Structure formats: structure tokens, C-alpha cells
Structure 1
Amino acid sequence: MDSEVRKSPGFESVLAIWSRRKWLAIAVLIIPLVAVVSGILFLPNIYRSTATVLIEGQQLPEAFVRSTVTSAVDTRLQAITQEILSRSRLDALITQFGLYKDLRKRISLEEVIERMRRDIQLELKGVKPMEKDRATIAFSLSFRGSDPTTVAQVTNTLASYYIEENLKVRERQAAGTAEFLKVQLDETKTRLDGQERLVSAFKRQNMGELPQQLDANLSTLARLNMQLRVNSDNLPLAQQRRQDILTQLAEREAGVPSDTPGVAADPLSRARHELMMARARYTEAHPTVIRLKAELEELERQQAETAKKGEQEEGDTATFMNPAAQRLKQALREVDGEIAALKAEAGRLRKDLGAYQSRVENTPRREQEFQAMARDYQTTKETYESLLKRYEEAKLAESMEQRQKGELFRVLDPATPSERPVAPDRLRLILMGLVLSVGLAVGVVMAVEQLDTSFHTVDDLRGFTTVPVLVSIPPLITAADLAQRQWRTKVVALSVAAGIIGIVALSYLVAKGNEQLAWMLVKGGA
């Protein structure tokens, strides 16, 4: 026997509750509904424009020109995005297009810039390749705002920023690569020149002991040995001739007759014998053969002159003996000169043999030193040639980027002013507000009914107690009561009207120009 007994859920009970609480329900329904509807109506229209940028691959075949910009597209896009979304860039855009005028009055510039960063959206998407071997992708760039024309202009400006910044980034990277290679090339060239000077100095300091001169040194060593053997053979012969001349000269001075043909002919015979022996050992072009032939001719000439003088005058023996002695002395001087020359030649040959023998012995050690130096030089030279090739390729790639023949960003679909706002969805929001207002009104009425402990019908009273109800007295409304009710109704009506006006004004203040609230209330809004 509680309130559930006296308040049946029937249709009549609902009508009775409506009759008692209709003004409360209407007030609770209208107030939030007016707030929702007015706020939704005052929310600004949000427009979004999108530009599609196509990423075209390198225009020249990579087999001819290899780009030095090897970073991935998404990585480069992230770097470009950070550059474009920098404070200075966005501040310039805000000033140029007069963005967020109302918002700048309420919050700081840093917060406005952060808001604009949220209003800019970048989305990568795949695009079917235009050519079989050239993969291309694209990305869409979006911006949202309250003015459709301005939004489209800002979006196209951002797209142009991406295109320009991509060119700058690629040119900067290509130029940086070329500059780096140039520095490395100069350093390597300096090191290579230094090593070339070291190699040249090593060759000058060790001339004759270099590995490539070993064959020549061995050949010279063999030739010097042969010359020394010839010298060793000629020296005893010359010494024997000297002894023979001394013997003849002694005989002349002792008074041996000069008309003995054997004595006069003895040097000539000996010269002929020596020439015959030399020809048996050497060729006609050998120096020994040539010298002996010259001596033989001189002796024959002297003998002829002596014979001619003997026919003209038969003077005393002393007169005949002097020319012969003089010739023997002249021959002695010549033989002494020959012996001295042979000895000097032997000394020179032995000295040269020692020098060349030292060269041959030092060649292995010089070869090790030269190989180490040449190995370093060859390594540096190969590094220099590799850097030179890469530098030339980098300069070619830099020229390609400057002529805009590398990877390019091209606007595929420019942004256009949107005809319909993307936010807020007013119809959906109003329906949601209506449902919430109705639910709130029903809830408030049910709560008030639950808290109400008064009896509104005889049945309610009978259901509560066993005491019999004798009579039901209806309310007695006097003129004063009626006047008071009318006055109260007017006050309530005015209060409700004032409340509605206040709610509308508050909604205007909150919702007018509040783009962020518009996006928060729309599905998919940020």
C-alpha cells in the first residue's frame, strides 16, 4: 500500500499526470531545446577544401642520371610539413588571409597557430602508376574554415608551399651532396699530390736501386764483368810488350848493330803476332783489335821511313842508331800509357762493379719500401677516381634538380570553394537535442511525481487507508484566487520568456564563430 498502488501506470494515470505537470514538462522541454536549437543555429558554417598533389617520379632515366636525393617520400613529406607548419609560415598565412579574426581576440597567437595546425590535414594515398616502371603516389592537403573562398585559397597556397619547398629541399640536398663530395675530393687530391711527391722523391733518392731497374742493373753488371775480363787479358800483353821494348832499347844502347834485319823486324813481327792472336779471340770491331792494327800500321810506317833514310845516307852507326832508339822510346811511352789506361780502366770497372752490385743487393729492400708507398698511393688514387666520378654524378644530379627534371610535386586537383558546409550537421544535432529534451522532461516529471506525497483522487486516498471516505469536496476558487492564479501565470510566462531570451543570448555568445565547437559536435570532427 504505497505510492505504486495509488499511481497506476494506465493511460488515465498518464493523462492525469500530464494535466498536473504539463507546464513543468513544457518548461523543461523548451528550455534545453531552445538552448540546443539556438546554439546550433548560431554555430558558424565550417567549409573544407582539399587539393590533391601528385608526386611524379624522375623525368630522366636513372640509367643516365642518378638522383642524390634518396630519402623516402613520406620522410621528406614529414620534413616539409614541419617546415610549412612552422610558426613563421603560419603566422604569415594568418596575416595574409585574415584568418581567425574573432579567435585572435580571445586567445594568444601561439594558440591560434596551434589551432591552424589542427585545421590542416595531410593524407598520403596511393595512385596507380602512369607508367609501367614509374611508381607514383599522391597526397591530399585539406584546410577547414568559415569562409569557403578563403579556405580554398589557403589550401591552394599550402599546396604551392609544398611544391616550392620540395624543390628547395631537393636542390639543397643535391647541392649539399655535391659540396660534400667536392670537399672530400679536394682533401683526397691534396693527399694524392703529397704521395706523388713522396714517390717522386723516393725514386730520385734511390735512382738505380728501384725494382724496375733490376734487369738493367744485372745487364750492366754482366757487361762490366766482361770488360774487366778483357782488361785483365790485355794488361799482361801490354806489360810483355813493354818488357820486349825495354830489352830492345837496352840492346841498342849496348851497341848491337842495327843492320841485322831480325832486330829491326822483331817489334813488327811481335805486333803482327799480337794482332793475329787478338783476331782469333775478338771481332774486327773490338777495341783491342783496332788498337793493335793501328800499332802495326805505325811500325810499318816507321820501318819504311828507316829503310828510305838508309838508302840515301850511309853515315856512321851512331847517326843510324838514334832514330831507332827514339822509336823504341816512343813505343815504350805508348805502352806505358796503355798500361796506365788499362789499370785506370780496371779500377773504374771495379768501382762500377761495386756500385752496381750494391744496387742489386739493395733492390729487394727498396722494392718493399716502394711497394708500401705505391700501395698507399694506388689506394688514394682509386679513392680519388671514385670520388671524382661520384662528384661528377652529383653535379649532374644537381643540374637535373635545378632544371626541375627530378621528382616533382604537381597539383592534380586544385582546391575549389565548397558549396556545402561539412559542419555542423544542424538537422542531426537538432533531432538529438529534441530527443534529449523530451527525455529530460519525462525524467523531471517522473522525479517530481515520485517526490509528491499528496492525494489527488478519492481512489488514491482509499487505497492508502481503511478509514471510509464520506465525501469529496472540490476546490473552491474565488475571484481573488483566480486573479492570483492569473498573476502567477503571467509572472511565470515572463520568467520563462526572459529565461529563453537569456538562453538564446548565452547560446549566441558561446556558439557564434566557435568553429572548434562546431567540429566537436559534428561526427568525425576534430
Structure 2
Amino acid sequence: MTQQSSSESENHKSLFLHDPDDLEEKLELLEYWRSIVKRKKQIIGFGLVVALLAAVIVFVMTPVYRSTATVLIESNKANLLSIEDVYSGISQNREHFQTQVEIIKSREVAIKTIGKLKLWEHEEFDPRAKGDSWRASIGFSDEPKEWTEKLLAEAVYDNFSRRLSVEPIRLSQLARVSFESSDAELAARAANAAAEVYIENDLEARFRLTRQATSWLQDQLTDLRKKLNESEKTLQEFREREGIVDLKSVTQSGAGRQIEEVMGRLVEARMKRAEAENSYKQIKSAPKGADLTSLPAVLRNPIVADAKRAEGIAERKLSEVSQRYGKEHPRYVQAEGELESARDNLRRQVDSVIASVIREYEVARGTESTLEGVLNSAKGSVQTLNRKEGELSIYEREVEASRQMYDMFIKRTKETNVAGDLQTAIARVVDPAVVQAAPVKPKKAQIVVIAFVLGIFLGMLAALLRDRLDNTLKTTEDVELRLKQPILTTLPLLSREEVGRTQTARIFLDQPKSVYAEAIRTARTGVLLSGIDLPRRTLLVTSSVPGEGKTTFSINLAIAHAHTKKTLLIDADMRRPAISKGLEMQPGAKGLSNFVSGSATLQECMIPVEGSTLMLMPAGSVPPNPLELLLSQRFKDTLEHLGKHFEVIIIDSPPVELVSDALVIAAVADGTIYVTKAESTPYQIARKGIQRIRRTGGQILGVVLSQFDVAKAEKYYGDYSGYGKYGYGQAGYEGGYGPAYGEESSKT
């Protein structure tokens, strides 16, 4: 017994030691795979249906053939003559190649190709075949009354352009021109025709452009020739009018040399005038009666200097004579006369010099004025000549420009005329299209495989979406992660033979070695371990809604506890009592309501369960208001009184979501066991019921997952193989206990 209890204790502890992070990770990683495996037959079947449907469609589709012609676009082709400036030549870059590719796909090339092949005569492209549509029958057709070739080509264009494709070949000057049609021969002809029309259209455009350039050049030459003649005539008239003979520069006309000579003489005249003016100003600024001999302008004259020295000599001689002779002495008189004569000579010389300075000043002024007049006249002549020469240069440049333009246009005209006769194609077909033996589409095998894979993928998405939208509790991991409560046990789904309430209520007694009985023992062990030090326990068993197996679990759990402890089972669902029916007892027996109200004794309300030591207290007579009865103090006293006689009291109450009876009982019970139905109970409802119980002060011991399909779980989830390996009918257990099942059941 000790070994069995220890084994059950370890098994139960393993139920509460799951790491939430591990469980969540396991749920995230394996839930998708489980959802897919669970419906693998449906997924594969859906994939096969989609593949079959695709196969039917592709096998009735018209095969399409594709032919390809390879065109070389010679972007680096050398021109015979350099006339790129006249019209748009071949560029040397990638943009030119891409431009040519777009030209092949242009509307103009397409229309010409359609007209060349007369595609409207083929049933595949004939727009007139659509005239019998229902729109035409009611008079809403926009088709013309009379078809012309132009209208037919326009009508075929959209269909033609969809089938034509031009693909540049990377790192080359080649382009693939492809065409698709249900007629293999027509596909090859259309591809070759599109390439040929492109080349012909390019040659035609070049020829037309050359002719336009030639015509324009001829018109321009006429105007230029007229303008050149007028320019030369105007130039000659100007030369004759102005008397210019081969005049090229001002220096050659003599005016430049004249200006240089006059400028030199004018500088000299101005210097002389400045000197004379200086002397003149010195003389004019001297005071009246002053000695002018001391002036620099006078002293510089050599004659004045000589007269000045003669005066000095006479004065010294007079001084010497006066010292030796008197004034009456002849020598003195002679010396005095010589001095007077020297002074008169000096005065005459000074007056002469002054007069000479004045004349020089006036002459210098006159010379300067004359030279300035000559210079101004020369400058005027030069300026007039410069203006004429500038105007002449303008006429000469105009004549030269007209002559150059005329020569250039003459040259370009000759080049264009020659080039027009020597045009070469910009492209050529290097690999013509040939008739293909095999169609390019539809790729039947590929489409069927893709359809099958797509069907499988859609089936997988549908399976995942269905499970994501399914908010029921399916596994023990769902219970622990979504309800945040420990799993107490998992009750397996019973077979059809065991579905009857009378069989399931006593399955612990009738089939002690069954998987269901082992699950009940696991729950009993969990209850005992949750309060191992408590001598007595009052347990409440409830659920969210009816039909979740709450009553069946209560009866079997009570029977299991009765094997080891003195146990009482109370049916507290006084509105819809079910325990008496499950145990096949006579209806109308006195029970809980009678004992609480005091209308019956404890012995009258107790009924032993046949085959076990379990005592049952039925619901009794249905009171007017069961909730008031449960809220009364007499109910609490009743539980205390019963606790003195029984070690374990199990109370089966109504579902939480229907009435509040379970909430009232949970507040006075030692613990509550919450029963949920696998793949039926939404976790939001169960979580809400548990929260309501906890808010009233109740304690949740654990959650029971009932009606769990073990075979389905083993097949889809892979974590419940213990049920099949150690189930009833194989290695049994003495007295219903055994470590083997306990080890496997801990996984639930």
C-alpha cells in the first residue's frame, strides 16, 4: 500500500510540474503538425480532387504552339557615309537596343504584319466570327456594317499583340521574336513575318527620312545662295561708297603713324610750355621794382650771367680806386663810369631775357594748342576709320558665314543623295522560326502537379484555420495553458456499450481494471495529495454547462474514495438530480433538502451504494428556492455535522453557467474540481466559470478533461499511447493500482 501511494504521489506531482513555457512552445510547434496529421486524409483527398479537376480542364484545353525567330540588331553597324547629324542615326548604347525591341512590339509593325499574313482569314483571329453573339442578336453590337482590311487589322490587333512577345537576350544584340497560336505553322509564319516587317519598316523609315532631309536641304540651299549673294553685294557697295581698297587695319592707312608722331611732339611742346610757364610765373610774381637778376629764369641766361660778372668786376675796381683816390680823381670817375655802364648793360640784358621768356611762353602755348588740334583731328579720323572698318568686318563675317553654311549644305546634300541610294538594314534574321512539333502549353503534367500541391496547401490552411477557430479544450496542454489550472485527470471516451448512465455510474466497480477506472484513481490520488495533512475533505464537483460528465465523475470518484476512506456523496443539484438515476435508486427518497430543512433525520437521508461502502445523500424534495437553502446557516451547519461522520464528502452541484448554487457551495467547500468536456467546452466559458468560483473564495484543486478520445489523441497527438499499451485486458493491476499506468497516465 505504501509503495502504491508513493507511485501515485510521484505520478500526481508530475501533473503539476509541467513548465508553462515548454508547454506553450510545444503547443506552438506541434499544434500545426497535429492539425495537419489529424485531417491528412481529408487534405490529401482535397488535393486529389483539385488535381483531378485541373487534369480535366487542361486535357480539354486547346494546345498552343510557339515559334521563335532570332533577330540581330546591329547597333554598332558602320555607316557608309557620316550623316548622323541629318537624321536620327544608330546610337551606341543599350537604350538604342531596348528602343528597337519596343519598335518590334509597336502597333505599326503589328498592323503591317497582320495585313501581310491576312490573319483575319484564320478562324482563330477572325473578328467576324464573334458577330453572332447575344449582344449582336439584340442590336447592341458595335461591329461595323462593312468590314474593310483596315478595320479587320485593327480588330485583330489586340489578340495579335497578346500572342506576340519580344525578349532581348542578355549581354548580346540578339532578340527573340516569339508568337503563339493553336496552329503550329501559323505561329512560325507570324514570328518570321513580324521580324521581316520590322526590318522592312526600318528601311522604309530611313528612306523616307533621307528624302525628307534632301528636300529640306534643297530648300535651305536656295535661301542660303540668295543670302550669300546679297551679303557679297552689300560688302562691295560699302567698300566703293567709303573708298576703302583692301583695308585690313588702321595702321596700314597712315592714321596710326600720324597720331604717334603728333603725340610725341605734343609731349615735347607741353614740356617746353611748362618750363616757359614756370619762368613766366616767376617774373610775374616778382614785386614791382625788385631786382630781377636774382630770379632763376634770368640767372640761367649766359648773357645775363656775363653782365652780372662785369658789374661785379666794375664794382670791385671802383672800390679799390675809391680807397686810393678821391671822387674828383680821374681814375675814380673812370671807374664809376665803367660801373654805371656795366649796370646799364645788365639792365638791358635782364629786360631782354624777360622779354624772351614771355615770348617763349606764348610760343610754347601756341605750339601746344596747335598740336592738340592736330591730334584731335587725327583721332577723329581714326575713330571714323575704326567705325567703318568695324562695319566692314561685320559684312565680311556675314559673307564668310554664309559661304561656310552654303558649302556645308552643298556637301550634306551630296552625301544625303548618295546615302539615300545606299541604305542598309539595321537588323537581320539570324535564325528563322520553324514549325514546332510539341505544344508549349498547357503543360499538363506540371499543371496537375501544381494543382495537387496547391490543393494540399489549401487543405492544410483550412485545417489550421479550423483548429484556430476551434476554441474548445482538446488536450491537457490546452487546459493548463488556457485555463492556467493543473490537470487532475483525463477521463477517456467510453465505447457505445458503456455510454448508458447506469453503466458509466458504476464503471469503477464493474470494470476496476479499465482505463476509465485508472483515470478515476489518478484523480483520487491528486485529491489526496492536495491535502495530505487534512483528516477530512469536502470536495465540490461542478462544470460549466450540462452534459460534460460531471455527475458520472462525481459518482466514480466517490466510489474510489470509499475504498480507502469513509466517504459521502451528496447530490446538491436539487433542480435536476441525476445521481439517484445513475445508481438506479428509487425516486422520491429523502435527502439534502429534507435534512437541511429539518424534516428528516440523517439516517433517513442516507442511502448505501450497493457493492461499496459509499453512502449517498440524494437531493431530496425539490425546494421552492434551492439557492436560499444553500445560503442558509443550516446548510453550513449540515456540512460541519457531516464532516464529523465522514472523512471525504463529495458534492455534485449544478453547472456554474446556469445557476449560482455551485458558487455558494464552493465558498464553504475545501476544494473544487472543475469538469470540462474534451472538444466541446469552449475555454472562455470554462475560464469564466473558474474565475467566478475563485472570486467567491473557492479553491480550485484541478480540472478534469472528460470524454477524451484516447485513440484519436494517440493517432493525432502522439502523447497518449499509454492508454492503449496499458489498458484494460492486458497487464492488469492488483486491486486496481499499479506503477505502470501511473507512469503513463502522468503524461495526461
Shorter-chain TM-score above 0.5:
no
Question: TM-score, normalised to structure 1's length?
Answer: 0.45
Question: TM-score, normalised to structure 2's length?
Answer: 0.33
Larger Rg: 2
Task: Tell me: higher relative CO, structure 1 or 2? Use CA pairs within 8 A at least 6 residues apart.
Answer: 1
